[in-house]
Structure 1
Amino acid sequence: MTKLTKNESQIGPIGLNKGLTSYGDQEFSLFLRKAFIKGAGFSDKALDRPVIGITNTGSSYNPCHGNMPQLIEAVKRGVLMAGGLPMDFPTISIHESFANPTSMYLRNLMSMETEEMIKAQPMDAIVLIGGCDKTVPAQLMGAASAGIPAIQLITGSMLTGSHRGERVGACTDCRRYWAKFRAGEIDQEEIVEVNEQLVPSVGTCSVMGTASTMACIAEALGMTVPGGASPPAVTAQRMRIAEQTGEQAVQLAKDRLTIDKILTPAAFENALRVLLATGGSTNGLVHLSAIAGRMGVAIDLDAFHAMGQSTPVLIDLKPSGQHYMEDFDAAGGMPTLLRTLKPLLNLDVLTVTGQTLGQVIDAYGPTYPQEVVKSLDKPIYPQGGIAVLRGNLAPGGAIIKQSAAQASLMEHTGRAVVFENAQDLANRIDDPDLDVQPEDILVLKNIGPKGAPGMPEAGYLPIPKKLAKQGVKDMVRISDGRMSGTAFGTIVLHVTPESAIGGPLAHVQNGDQIRLSVKNRLIELLISDQELAQRSLNNPVQEPKATRGYLKLFLDEVNQADQGVDFNFLSAPITEKVPKKKND
């Protein structure tokens, strides 16, 4: 009963025989393992089934995962229906609003824990349940490194609320109403009132923020069951998706369809195409770079920008459009988008269904009239949502979400108003004596991967209060940090190299002229190379250091935004770049 079977000797251990604890006696290790698990009431018949691990990322601190108990129950039901043995286990759970200093700081830690728990415990496949912004990329990163069959289950988006007859949802409307409050357009009573309506249920943000973007990307990568990205968290359809995910996990285990067969360079190209077409979060590019890096694939930013020239924004969702994830789901969700994008996609890539993406798309139901997913010839924005910028201020690249920016500011030259760090910004941004005009450019330093640390979503600099009260709604803003996918405005992000390691951004001074030209892909500090070099010599940067703990590991090993803000020792050797350039 405890010996490895003939089949296992040919293809490796399966089920509880995998990854035996080291006691110096392999058969005793299995004997002991079975003895203890039988203490939980399992029979030999149950223990002979394929084991399907299920990550439990439920937490009282994470309302985005508030439906976790129901999801796990549905996944287990699907696993049992398909003849597997479901085994859920806890992992770190990260929520955007509850993680200090920032959720991004903890993403790599969650990826490491996910990877190590997959490796440490016996399982033939893993169901990854995540939703809030950093959880899905962390899980895909960890599973990519672990290398076993894996499938992603999204927790689902929240519902929308209503404020004084207006439909509202987190978190684009959070920022819009907060801007109104700062400008004095609404009072304390109304901001408290709207706070009750912005998040009316559990689930992730109801717009095309980072959570929704990563849900769509996971499906574009072939890592979810068809239609798995969009059903809201509290719907019966989300539970049916969970059940289907459990069934499919067993089939993945039986077929030994490991994650490396899904996460191919061609699949990453598809995901980049979907990122552009959804008007998705700028964070999606960072996370995709990190996931790809675990597979030895690098994102070519210049080729990505070129891809954007032929990939319009098709999804009419906030912050680039008007609708919410509920509407996207009602319009058919990702199946509708992928059908529309079919001429631009690599169709021969494998998905977790065992079928190619082309076969999955062909199996979708009939089209029907809807207003959320536009056609290729009538997009809501003619180019991809994200543009890549370069210049002496960002030699390693920077990005702007052009689909959510003010058109009149995308060709702009202005005077720099500089904030040295987040605390400096907090201390001075609302000072009535701040020397700032609407045509100026706000610059925030030291919020990159090492500078903050953890590259917080502080790139969405608030409009100075005295200008907000004058009716100013947007200004050019530049930083080496990130912004929420729910945010909007003419905001240059991910300036690389970051200021904390001596990038040119570190040497911008108040009054410098900066030129932004999205048309020409330029972000330039209008001083001579000699002046920039002299400033660097006069004010050398001391990189942040730490003496112990996770902070030391983070500061010693984290890489830059163009590499995904992953740890250097976790990335695989790069063997390929995506997307492919046209002349490749």
Structure 2
Amino acid sequence: MQDKLKLKQLADLRSQRWLAPDDMRSFAHRQRLQQMGLRREEFMSRPVIAIINTWSDLSPCHAHLRERAEAVKRGILQAGGMPFELPAMSLGEVMVKPTTMIYRNLLAIETEELLRSLPIDGAVLMGGCDKTTPGLLMGALSADLPCIFVPAGPMLSDRHRGQVVGAGTHTKKFWDEYVAGNLEQTEWISLEARMTRAPGTCNTMGTASTMTSIVEAMGFTLPGATSIPAMDSAHPRMCSASGERIVGMVWEDLKPSRFFNRAAVENGIVAYMALGGSTNAAIHTIAIAGRGNVPLTLDEIARVGADIPVLADIFPSGARLMEDFYYAGGLPALLAGLKPRLTLDCLTVNGNTLGENLAAFESGMRPQGEDAIRPLDNPVTEGAALAVLRGNLAPSGAVIKPSAASPHLLKHRGRALVFDSVAEMNAQIHAPELDVDADTVLVLRGGGPIGAPGMPEWGNLPIPKKLLAAGVRDMLRISDARMSGTHYGTCVLHVAPEAAAGGPLALIRTGDIIELDVAAGRLDVLLSDEELANRRESWRAPPKPRQRGYIRLYVDHVTQADQGCDFDFLAGFEEPVEPPIF
């Protein structure tokens, strides 16, 4: 490693600006650290390492991170560093309302400012639930200090009536059966205590595992870290190893700007597609890339992933769970089968290149349960994990997940049934008199970054009860909202510009004919340009609800989905500005 990166000296450490000078201000810094019971020797001659921990009593995905932080500290101390645990906002996906997405940028701000404002030389980022991973990475990229990501890990697997069941994916399946009258209430209630039976992120290929895997492929974790189940004994060992490694990264000055580049981003996209990952990852990857000075568009994501089939046989695109993926070798095994599609000379946080890490994996023990990861010549599905759509309904783009959609709906023409809000939809969708059939296109607007606000996961519109009772389990659905990565269905999402920003979605009416052609990358409403122009003349933006504080800041400054939903004043990379110390 030493022949790759020049080692720092003690005087070069960032924390020394706070601690080393012989003046009254630094005297106070040293005094206050000793006030907490620390010896001078513990912080004066060691790298100071922040552990950004997103543990919370109301975040089940991160419920184990309080004790995992102790393993991280152990590794830091053994390597000669001094750990300080710093709590950060915990974005528990299910509990936070109206949506965790609205707070992703707040976590990014918090992470950046924690690292900037304190005497920190390097950081361990602990998280895993959907928006936590991109929030932490966005902030860390902007701060540009040595950092390593410690993923929370997926929860344990479970079964119901002998069948594998996955978090989110089977919740939706069982709910549809319950609404259709095919599932007794007692059985429905019993599922509450079974399907999510241990701490950790969703055990399907939802947004959590998609994002942590992308981050690993980009080089921010130790090899194989993201696939380890949260409750496996390998998980605290990985935490300890990550703590040990961050100290070395500080001495090597291995910060994100030294290894994060376009090739690393494209490696992440290749992994994303092969995993059959969440549509949400398109937004987050664009935002992460932008913070690292890698401008990225939807079309570039589509180009990089164009010929990558789904190889991970994991719900919702496949039929297995993350624990099976781990037994099959996890992300290193998946990437090893994709080496011709990867840039192997990209540096990673352990100081080795991606190619070196994969070679080490391939020379080791053969994993078990290889069926969870398919070879390129026998994919789970030929359909892509993500398709980008454009047309007069989505001039800036929209996305769909073909691998989790119904093939017969990927080319479809139908009459629109439009809902102006999620409240209107919920009030009407199960009404017996609703004018709807299996060919109807359900449309929801007002679910975008500004309109909702925060772009909640409303995009998997419910199938009307009378159609569920008739056996219908999928319909074409279109919205400017998002969809849970654990869910499935023929759902066109992230329509941009959103309706609240004056996008064409605001102009369509119930009865209009909408045409989807995924193979051609088209999404259109069959109206003339003249008719759309006439409707725009009479369109008025819906009144904004009264907002205050952070939510008002969000609505005023968030960008559209195709731009990553970052804040306009934070997107992009600038050289970090060190705080003055007076």
TM-score, length-scaled by structure 1:
0.94
Letter in structure 2 aligned against 1:190: E
Per the alignment, residue 582 of structure 1 pairs with: none
Per the alignment, residue 464 of structure 2 pairs with: 464
Does structure 1 conserve the Cα–Cα contact (< 8 Å) formed by 2:164 and 2:320? no
| Percent identity of paired positions between Structure 1 and Structure 2 | 45
Q: Does 1:320 align with 2:295?
A: no
Q: Matched residues in 2 for 1:277 and 1:186: separation?
A: 34
Closer/same/farther in 2, CA of residues 392 and 11 from structure 1, 3 Å limit? farther
Equivalent residue in structure 2 for 1:38, among 34, 37, 41: 34
Per the alignment, residue 509 of structure 1 pairs with: 509
Shift of 1:219: 0.5
Shift of 1:573: 6.1
Per the alignment, residue 241 of structure 2 pairs with: 244
Deviations 1:5-38 (A, max 9, x none): xx99x997526424579xxx97222211111111
Does structure 2 conserve the Cα–Cα contact (< 8 Å) formed by 1:56 and 1:129? yes
Letter in structure 1 aligned against 2:346: V
Q: Matched residues in 1 for 2:115 and 2:437: separation?
A: 54
Q: Which moved more, 1:296-305 or 1:335-344?
A: 296-305
Does structure 1 conserve the Cα–Cα contact (< 8 Å) formed by 2:266 and 2:304? no
Shift of 1:40: 1.6
Q: Secondary structure, in 3 states, of the residue corresponding to 2:371?
A: coil
Equivalent residue in structure 2 for 1:27, among 19, 23, 28: 23
After TM superposition, the runs of 4+ consecutive aligned structure 1 residues lying more than 6 A away are none
Shift of 1:215: 1.3
After TM superposition, the structure 1 = structure 2 runs for residues 243-282 of structure 1, keeping only pairs within 5 Å, are 243-282=240-279
Letter in structure 2 aligned against 1:14: L
After TM superposition, the structure 1 = structure 2 runs for residues 144-543 of structure 1, keeping only pairs within 5 Å, are 144-364=141-361, 365-368=364-367, 370-542=370-542
- How many residues end up aligned between the 2 structures? 565
Does structure 1 conserve the Cα–Cα contact (< 8 Å) formed by 2:318 and 2:380? yes
Q: Matched residues in 1 for 2:19 and 2:139: separation?
A: 21
Q: Matched residues in 1 for 2:152 and 2:454: separation?
A: 25
TM-score, length-scaled by structure 2:
0.94
Equivalent residue in structure 1 for 2:120, among 112, 120, 123: 123
Deviations 1:242-273 (A, max 9, x none): 01100110011110111112221110011111
Does structure 2 conserve the Cα–Cα contact (< 8 Å) formed by 1:19 and 1:120? no
Does structure 2 conserve the Cα–Cα contact (< 8 Å) formed by 1:168 and 1:197? no
Q: Matched residues in 1 for 2:541 and 2:529: separation?
A: 18
Q: Secondary structure, in 3 states, of the residue corresponding to 1:181?
A: helix
Letter in structure 2 aligned against 1:376: L
Closer/same/farther in 2, CA of residues 541 and 241 from structure 1, 3 Å limit? same
Deviations 1:515-568 (A, max 9, x none): 000111100000001101111111222473756311221011000111111101
Shift of 1:162: 2.6
Q: Does 1:564 align with 2:564?
A: yes
Does structure 1 conserve the Cα–Cα contact (< 8 Å) formed by 2:62 and 2:200? yes
- Structure 1 unaligned spans of 5+: 1-6, 575-584
After TM superposition, the structure 1 = structure 2 runs for residues 47-58 of structure 1, keeping only pairs within 5 Å, are 47=43, 48-58=45-55
Does structure 2 conserve the Cα–Cα contact (< 8 Å) formed by 1:298 and 1:563? no
Q: Secondary structure, in 3 states, of the residue corresponding to 1:494?
A: strand
Closer/same/farther in 2, CA of residues 255 and 530 from structure 1, 3 Å limit? same
Does structure 1 conserve the Cα–Cα contact (< 8 Å) formed by 2:134 and 2:211? yes
CA RMSD of aligned residues (A): 1.8
Q: Matched residues in 1 for 2:195 and 2:11: separation?
A: 51
Shift of 1:299: 1.8
Letter in structure 2 aligned against 1:299: L
Per the alignment, residue 13 of structure 2 pairs with: 14
After TM superposition, the structure 1 = structure 2 runs for residues 74-89 of structure 1, keeping only pairs within 5 Å, are 74-89=71-86
Deviations 1:125-179 (A, max 9, x none): 1000001111111000000011100110001111122323323231211111111
Shift of 1:383: 4.3
Q: Matched residues in 2 for 1:401 and 1:67: separation?
A: 32
Does structure 1 conserve the Cα–Cα contact (< 8 Å) formed by 2:297 and 2:563? no
Closer/same/farther in 2, CA of residues 543 and 301 from structure 1, 3 Å limit? farther
Does structure 2 conserve the Cα–Cα contact (< 8 Å) formed by 1:314 and 1:376? yes
Per the alignment, residue 3 of structure 2 pairs with: none
Per the alignment, residue 578 of structure 1 pairs with: none
Shift of 1:224: 0.2
Closer/same/farther in 2, CA of residues 117 and 524 from structure 1, 3 Å limit? same
Deviations 1:496-517 (A, max 9, x none): 0000010000011000000000
Shift of 1:363: 1.2
